[in-house]
Chains A and B, each alone.
Chain A
Amino acid sequence: MTTRLTVNGVDHEVDLPDDVPLLWVLRDALGLTGTKYGCGVAACGACTVQIDGEAVRSCQVALADVWGTVTTIEALGTPDALHAVQAAWVEHQVAQCGFCQSGQIMQAAAFLSQTPDPTDEDIDAAMSGNLCRCGTYPRIRAAIHTAARTLRET
């Protein structure tokens, strides 16, 4: 059966069973590989996307349950037009291996839209579900503060 889905402003008809997680719809059916598979059990945050602006773990959302329009890292900003969060990530040279960073950035962007002037504790609470094995956390924290400033000023 086909399911209609809006991803990054584009409408798709997906011919997959209802219970396929959004993560694999994005990666294997739509070719949007910026969203990563890390654990499949919502323990690492690498698969974080936004549904109607809310950060969600796409490995836990079945295709049939997608309740709104989906935004992935590919549409948050582009290499030529970075989102403020991505620009802050570049400024602080956050990424090492980079595999978790799509999820970190999607989580941070959704968080900042709700919490424009976060404390370190706010950041800890919002970002603790996103694992990074390269240990980029101190830079993530600094980049979120920078992005928050940018977003408040624009």
Chain B
Amino acid sequence: MANWGRIARRTFLIGSAAIAGGVAFGVWQYRRELPNPLEPGEGQATLNPWILIDQEGVTLIAARAEMGQGVYTTLPALIAEELDVAWEDIRVMHGPAAQAYYNGALMTHALPVNDYERTGFQDAMIEALTILPKTLGLQVTGGSTSTIDAYEKLRMAGATARETLKQAASERLGIPVANLATRDGRVIAPGGIEVPYADLGETAATMDPPRHVPLRPASEWRYLGRAMPRTDMVAKVTGTAEFGIDVRLPGMKFATVRMSPRLGGTMESFDATAALAMPGVERVIDLGTGIAVVATNTWLAFRAADAVEIAWGPAPYPETGEALLDAIRASLDEAPNSTLRDDGDVDGMEISGDDRVVEAEYTVPWLAHATMEPMNATALFTGDALEIWAGSQSPGFAEKAAAEAVGLDADAVTCHVTYLGGGFGRRGEVDYAVLAARVAAEMPGAPVQVTWSREEDMRHDFYRPAAVARMRGIIRGGFAQALDGKVAAPSVTRQSTKRLSGTAPPGPDKGHVEGMFNQPYAIPNYRVTGHLTDLAVPVGFWRSVGNSFNGFFMESFIDEMARAAGRDPLAFRLDLAEREHAPSAGVLEAVAQMSNWTGSPRRGVGRGVAMTYSFHTPVAVVVEVSDRDGDVSIDKAWVACDVGTALDPDIIRQQMEGGLVYGLSAAAMEEITFADGEVQQWNFPDYDALRIHTCPEIEVRILETQDHLGGVGEPATPPAMPALANAVYDLTGERIRDLPLSRRVRFVF
């Protein structure tokens, strides 16, 4: 872990010699084949880390967390496209946590440049950056990177395995490879001879795979580019998909935890007398900054935890929401951490009498992830080894952190990754796995499942930080002549990297300003500065991260500028995007067409538009709202995205729908507040989301004009929020600059 900190520190200093140093460091290791972590059992063979063959057929390793985004479908499709396996015969598993499954695309977001105007040099730097995750084995699901990382790697894994299987068949049959073909899990030879892969696996596993196998062109694809049935769908509609909370082991105990509600605070004392008197309660364990209760069922553990009387120490941060927001706002006046965009001369502009100056300040609240499945993990400690079962977006980190917590080497810890009942970034953290490991360490030999109550989950998140933006713009001749944005918030990148590695990366924090500095708008004078607030409130990656607040700031302000210019807000954006980035203009044109955008007001109806380029994908959204007896109803949404190549159009559609609803829910009603150092929300009644009767009709269009793959899991979330706020403005004439909107308008619920 020390290594990760050191290397991260060097590699984050892009633009200096650090990147060259990274390449030099990486060459020997980067080129080296990583060991195959699969350990084939009796009658099994493995050709590479993604393919396991036995008499039952072929199992493909996805090695990314399936949290709804379809990686157990799209990643196997990449392998199967080249391997030639019938879709219905594909079996999928996550596989072990291992270096071989590093996410090479993860660090592409670390490059502090505008992704939409990538140059060859920047592509080379991005390629070089894959060294870091590879060397360190960063097996992380996040940043909308799974398919981007896998696109060539997994097709190549399938292609080389196919050619190796053909070589094995060639030796067995005495027929030249050139005369062999493959289809549906079989090698096909002339004369109607068919050999199942299952019969060739063990021989093929001993052979050297060929190098430089050409990949099939898109015109020959059978699976990619089409909507494939999700491999997890039947299990998920029959209750047979195993989530972390569903793990059942012989003799398993059920436990829960109660940690300090003043996050990161101390526990001064506790009295477990009443809890221990409850029948079925076996243990109350002192965890230092909280307690665990072990019982014969989860509900009893919850009740017993309620019965433990605990005196908590103070919070290590200002105790009220107002004080926290004041601290964030104050950092706007301090020296910036970053100025990642400074086009033209914002300060030097002379303002003439015909110019319009627009100024506005915006705020967004803290947000919880609120995954449907509360945090949980199951662990079995046997003295010299630890097994963990968890829905984790970063199982390698979970293993290391759990090992440290119970005093074992990381090699002695195994994390089995289950399905995730929602992730949204929350399950990239390792706290729940570590707590399960610590409880298990107190009960050697007994498997124990540690499930958090919804209340514990809601009140112990790594929150999307509250943020404040101060924006200033100049309109000249109907165009945006200048935009000066300042954004302040606690740094997710710094805090989370420090949790994982012990060191916060210095230098400009790109994640903090993404969604504002890197938008594809041709504004001649365009500056964005990021200001970091040092607060100890736990913050973390929340679907779309910095874009989740900057998208709202930027696209609310662009809307204000358009209105100040007396322009149609869609046409105003299109002018800015057309001159900067054609695919971004394309998604705006698409939503205009889909929604039959006229710009003319309709009585009782409001429409808002927004566009954010994030995770290599521009997404434009139009939201339509209407007045229902004074309440606001969210009726329709149109979404257009440009993903370059649509690997599975229906999964992309699902992600656009889901990302949109996640953003609309946050913008409309979600808010975490603090009092007395404690989060004031407990459960869904006070932290709700859109429901079926409040969810709009959604139409999605997928464009494929970009020359690179775009991510899909996150980029619909940022534009959803300002599109809704802009629609509410269009309906009511009231510009709401502070989320959630429900503070000022009543939605139909």
Contact = CB atoms under 8 A, between A and B. Distances in A.
B695 A98 contact: no
A93 interface: yes
Most chain-B CB neighbours within 10 Å: which of A32, A135, A138?
A135
A50 interface: no
Which of the four size classes fits the interface of chain B? Answer: 35 or more
A40 B232 contact: no
Contacts of A9: none
Contact of A38 (B420, B454, B697): B454
Nearest to A81: B238
B297 interface: yes
Contacts of A136: 654, 657-658
Contacts of B689: 131, 133
A135 B239 contact: no
B419 A97 contact: yes
Contact of A43 (B242, B662, B683): B683
B193 interface: no
B238 A40 contact: no
Contacts of B692: 123-124, 127-128, 130, 137, 140-141
Given A79-B235, A124-B692, A128-B693, A40 B453 contact: yes
B302 interface: yes
A55 to B, nearest CB: 15
Interface string B38-50: 0000000000000
Contact of A90 (B234, B424, B451): B234
Contacts of A131: 372, 684, 688-689, 691
Interface in B209-256: 227, 229-230, 232-243, 245-246, 248, 254
Given A21-B299, A98-B419, A131-B691, A86 B237 contact: yes
Interface string A118-153: 000001110111111111111111000000000000
A138 B697 CA distance: 7
Contacts of B302: 40
A18 to B, nearest CB: 12
B644 interface: no
25 contacts: A20-B300, A24-B297, A28-B254, A28-B299, A35-B239, A36-B421, A39-B454, A43-B683, A73-B238, A74-B240, A79-B234, A82-B234, A86-B237, A96-B68, A96-B654, A96-B658, A97-B371, A97-B373, A97-B421, A99-B372, A127-B692, A129-B691, A135-B659, A135-B660, A137-B691
Nearest to B73: A93
Contacts of B313: none
Interface residues of A, number: 63
A44 B654 contact: no
Contacts of A135: 657-662, 665, 690, 695
B68 A89 contact: no
A89 B232 CA distance: 12
A43 B370 CA distance: 13
A104 to B, nearest CB: 9
Nearest to B233: A90
A97 B372 contact: yes
A41 B683 contact: yes
A29 B297 contact: yes
Interface in B633-674: 650, 654, 657-662, 665
Interface string B379-390: 000000000000
A60 B689 CA distance: 21
Interface string B389-433: 000000000000000000000000000000111111000000000
Given A86-B238, A134-B422, A135-B662, A97 B650 contact: no
A33 B238 contact: no
B298 A27 contact: yes
Interface of B: 67-70, 227, 229-230, 232-243, 245-246, 248, 254, 279-280, 296-300, 302, 370-374, 419-424, 451, 453-454, 650, 654, 657-662, 665, 683-685, 688-693, 695, 697-698
A82 B238 contact: yes
B68 A105 contact: no
A123 to B, nearest CB: 7
A97 B67 contact: yes
Given A16-B297, A37-B298, A41-B685, A100 B238 contact: no
Interface in A47-92: 72-74, 76-79, 82, 86, 89-90
A93 B233 contact: yes
A24 B449 CA distance: 14
A34 interface: yes
B507 to A, nearest CB: 34
Most chain-A CB neighbours within 10 Å: which of B236, B300, B302?
B236
Given A31-B248, A125-B693, A97 B420 contact: yes
B420 A33 contact: no
3 A-B pairs with least C-beta separation: A34-B239, A135-B661, A99-B421
A38 B298 CA distance: 13
Contacts of B683: 39-41, 43
Contacts of A93: 227, 229-230, 233, 650, 654
Given A98-B236, A134-B662, 8 more contacts: A95-B233, A96-B68, A96-B654, A125-B693, A127-B692, A131-B372, A133-B422, A140-B692
Given A33-B248, A97-B420, A133 B240 contact: no
Nearest to B685: A43
B48 to A, nearest CB: 29
